[in-house]
Amino acid sequence: MPSKHNFISHTADIAFEVEADSLEELFVESFYGWFNSVIFSDNELKIHSEMFIEIKADSLEQLLVDFLNELNFLLITKKILCLRIENLTIDKRNILLNAFIRTHNLEDTSIIKSEIKAVTYHQMEIIKKDNKYFVKVVFDI
Amino acid sequence: MKVDGIELNKIRDNLWEIPKTDGMRVPGRIYISREMLESTLSEIEALKQVMNVAHLPGIEKYSIAMPDIHWGYGFPIGGVAATNLDEGVISPGGVGYDINCGVRLASTNLTLEEVQPKLENLISKLFQSIPTGVGASGAIKKLSKSDLKKILEKGSVWAIENDFGNQNDIKFTEESGTLRNADFSVVSERALERGADQAGTLGSGNHFLEVDVIEEIYDNKVAEVFGLFKGQIVIQIHTGSRGLGYQICDDYLKILIKASEKYGFKLPDKQLACAPIKSQEGRDYLAAMQAAANFAWNNRQVIMSLAKKCFQDTFKIKESDLGFNLVYDVCHNIAKIEKHKIDGKVKEVCVHRKGATRAFPPGSDMIPEKYKSVGQPVLIPGDMGRYSYVAVGTEKAMEETFGSSCHGAGRNLSRHKALKEAKGRDLVSELKKKGIIIQAKGYKTIAEEMPLAYKDVADVVDVMHNEGITKKVAKLKPLGVIKG
């Protein structure tokens, strides 16, 4: 079954639940959740460049928070929007993420839907059940 | 009464207590009317957060919540907690991501009759001059690292030294616009990068600049001391430390999650990560948080100066005739070391105010000389279609809430529901019919921030007024708003 993310009701901020067949897919699907939270549409956005990212953390939850915060930092501060993620790998023992991201250099900031202050740790727990991975992601906006 | 297993005992009409249960070091206390409590119950999460905060080591007296309580991260929004300096902790969850988010109120000598004919021009000029929206930047030239260092260590003083205001503005800013133990060296490069071009910008979400008219005065004596009168034009600025503050909070949450484990704290929520105030981790967070607070004060000072120029250009008026005096600037997301009386003894404590406003009484050493006879102005913005309030601090606030009061209305509808409500409606025209001009970067913000999306701030203010924590001074009606 393909990965999916579903937005859930939150009074002040943005929250979604993610379901995936693997940990790597859980991270990639969380990226789509982030993308749909911050960008109006990607229909006409061209890939301008690519970059390699590496993130190390103390826990898998921390790794997910840092990964999404990294994408957010690139967008808001560097005006670099991640459009696609390729070859995302997670070294579970060392809690290390590597990925290639294909990016768009943002000239028109009006396509940004919401400014995320940060990815929170609120109720974040990566759960593995029946060979599926689940997580809830909440953004403070 | 019992809600989802949470016991709530009525202490007074507008005060409820959650008794100590497993792990809570103190009881929880919520200032709220029964009607508001019943509607807040849909956000049971917020009540649980009041209980969670009571687990913090060194917490004194109560975990307190204001009537604008709603679900936050770690602390609820509207949460107040004081921790002692001996074994007490400091937690970024008690401050929030937007460090020193706050409100400033400036008064003018202009009246409604003088402003009305040029209101649309004024709002357009404000919208053009003050960057708003996601990642807004470029209000002033991009700051060099040395300027950024000065702002982080000196706060509003940098703005004054660079012609964005005058000494009088400093006098009427909480803490004179500078927390003196701020330390540039404990702020990450990433935080500096996020803040470098954001000084003087409003940002997005619920941040705004509003031109208001004073519609009603409740206390003539106090209003006179604050320099406020019926029919007067005033402006409110609501923003904080922008990306720099968000990044500092995020950086230190990571550090303090580790510290919580190191010190063996059993916490019910990771967002309550904390460290002893006296520890290296605690001291570093306090110093970095103070740096962000200084950045926020400077931000609001620069915006006020840009707004003043818009008024002068629009009305072709001399500075002395315009007025544009800072009434007060308050922060509502902060942790500060203050002296409070606990069990009859004066103690130094770290007061966390997360979506709560300091409300010091007459005679306090911490408020401007001019206000000593009446108390500190407390600024409580509402939504953009109804009203906001100016209140004043009281001795009772010192006795019960560590000198704190409410900070705003609190959301009623989720952003998603607000967008649904706004479908097919022309909110700009609706507001215009009510005499309110709005300019925003996008219609989505206007829809998400529509008046219906917020609770009635009058209910919130009345709870604090009826409990004697703060007293109402004036009601402001919006005339024009700029938003992100």
Q: Does A114 touch chain B (CB under 8 A)?
A: yes
Specify the pLDDT at position B42: 67
What single-letter amino acid sits at A111? I
Whether residue B17 contacts residue B8, with contact meaning beta carbons closer than 8 Å, is answered with: yes
Burial of B167 (0-12, 13-18, 19+ CB in 10 A): exposed
* pLDDT tens per residue, range A79-128: 999 999 999 999 999 999 999 999 999 988 888 888 899 999 998 999 99
Cα B91 to Cα B22, B54, B438: the distances in Å are 21, 12, 37
Report yes or no: B111 and B307 within 8 Å, Cβ to Cβ: no
Residue B185 CB: number of other CB atoms within 10 A? 10
What are the structural domains, with CATH classification, of chain B? Answer: 2-96+337-358 (no CATH), 102-336+364-483 (3.90.1860.10)
pLDDT at A43: 65
Helices and strands (H and E) in chain A: how many: 2, 8
The residue of B68, B239, B250 whose CB has the most chain A CBs within 10 angstroms, and thus the best one to mutate to test that interface, is B250
B394 C-beta neighbours (distance < 10 Å), count: 25
Phi-psi domain of B157 (left: phi exceeds 0; alpha: psi -120 through 50; beta: other)? alpha
**Distant-in-sequence, close-in-space partners of B251: CB < 8 Å, separation ≥ 6:** B188, B190, B191, B288
CB B231 within 8 A of CB B474: no
Closest-CA residue to B37 (of B67, B5, B78): B67
Both tokens of residue B433?
A: 């019919």
Q: Which residue in the block uniquely carries the two structure tokens 């937690």?
A: B91
Q: How many domains does chain A have?
A: 1
A96 touches chain B (CB under 8 A): no
> Quick one: three-class SS letters along A28-94?
HHHHHHHHHHHECCCCCCCCCEEEEEEEECCCHHHHHHHHHHHHHHHHHHHCEEEEEEEEEEEECCC
Q: Report pLDDT for B442.
A: 82
Q: Other C-beta atoms within 10 Å of A18: how many?
A: 24
Q: In whole angstroms, what is the distance from residue B112 CA to residue B347 CA?
A: 47
Minimum Cα–Cα distance from A139: chain B residue = B73
CB contact under 8 A, A121 and B416: no
Tell me the residue range of the domain where A30 lies. Answer: 4-140
Dist CA B212 CA B321 (whole Å): 18
Indicate the DSSP class of residue A3.
-
* CATH code of residue A118: 3.55.10.10
Q: Which residues have CB under 8 Å from A102's CB, separation 6+? A: A47, A49, A50, A82, A83, A84, A85, A86
Q: Which residues 6+ apart lie within 8 Å of A138 measured at CB?
A: A10, A13, A14, A15, A119, A120, A122, A123, A124, B73
In tens digits, chain B (484 residues) has pLDDT values of: 888 889 999 999 999 999 999 899 999 999 999 999 887 766 788 999 999 999 999 999 999 999 999 989 999 999 999 999 999 999 999 999 999 999 999 999 999 999 999 999 999 999 999 988 776 777 777 788 899 999 999 999 999 999 999 999 999 999 999 999 999 999 999 999 998 888 889 988 889 999 999 999 999 999 999 999 999 999 999 999 999 999 999 999 999 999 999 999 999 999 999 999 999 999 999 999 999 999 999 999 999 999 999 999 999 999 999 999 999 999 999 999 999 999 999 999 999 999 999 999 999 999 999 999 999 999 999 999 999 999 999 999 999 999 999 999 988 888 888 989 999 899 999 999 999 999 998 888 899 999 999 999 999 999 999 999 999 999 999 999 999 8
Whether A36 contacts chain B with CB within 8 A? no
Cβ neighbours for B30, distance < 8 A, ≥ 6 positions apart: B8, B15, B16, B17, B18, B37, B47, B50, B64, B65, B67, B69
Tokens 């003894």 label which residue? B345
Which one, of B175, B154, B176, lies nearest residue B167 by Cα?
B176
Q: Contact at 8 Å (CB) between B211 and B482?
A: no
User: Does the structure's ipTM exceed the value 0.90?
Assistant: yes
Q: What tokens were used for A85? A: 């993620």
Instruction: Tell me the nearest-neighbour CA distance from A22 into chain B, angstroms.
Output: 25
What is the model's pLDDT at position A42? 58
Report the C-alpha gap between B150 and B268 in whole angstroms.
38
Whether B194 and A73 lie within 8 Å, measured CB to CB = yes
Tokens at A43, concatenated? 């229909």
Lookup: tokens for B229: 């009168």
Q: What is the pLDDT of residues A13-62, one digit of tens each?
A: 889 999 999 999 999 999 999 999 999 875 688 999 999 999 999 999 99
CA dihedral for B8, B12, B13, B15, sign (positive or negative): negative
**pLDDT at residue B196, rounded to an integer:** 86
| Predicted pLDDT at B446 | 92
Of A10, A79, A117, the CB nearest to B97: A117
Q: According to the model, what pLDDT value does residue B484 have?
A: 81
Contacts of B186 (CB under 8 A, 6+ apart): B284, B287, B288, B291
Q: Which residues of B are catalytic, by number?
A: 407
Q: Which runs of E-coded beta strand occur in B175-220?
A: 208-217
- pTM across the whole model: 0.96
Phi, psi of A18 (to 5 degrees): -120, 145
Q: What pLDDT is stored for residue B180 in this prediction?
A: 95
pLDDT at residue B237, as a whole number? 98
pLDDT at B41: 67
Is residue A1 scored above 70 in pLDDT? no
Cα distance between residue B240 and residue A115, in whole Å:
14
Q: Which of A10, A110, A117 sits opposite B246 (nearest CB)?
A: A117
B77 vs A12: CB contact, 8 Å cut-off?
yes
- For residues A33 and A8, the answer to whether their CB atoms sit within 8 Å is no
Name the residue in chain B with its Cα closest to that of A108.
B134
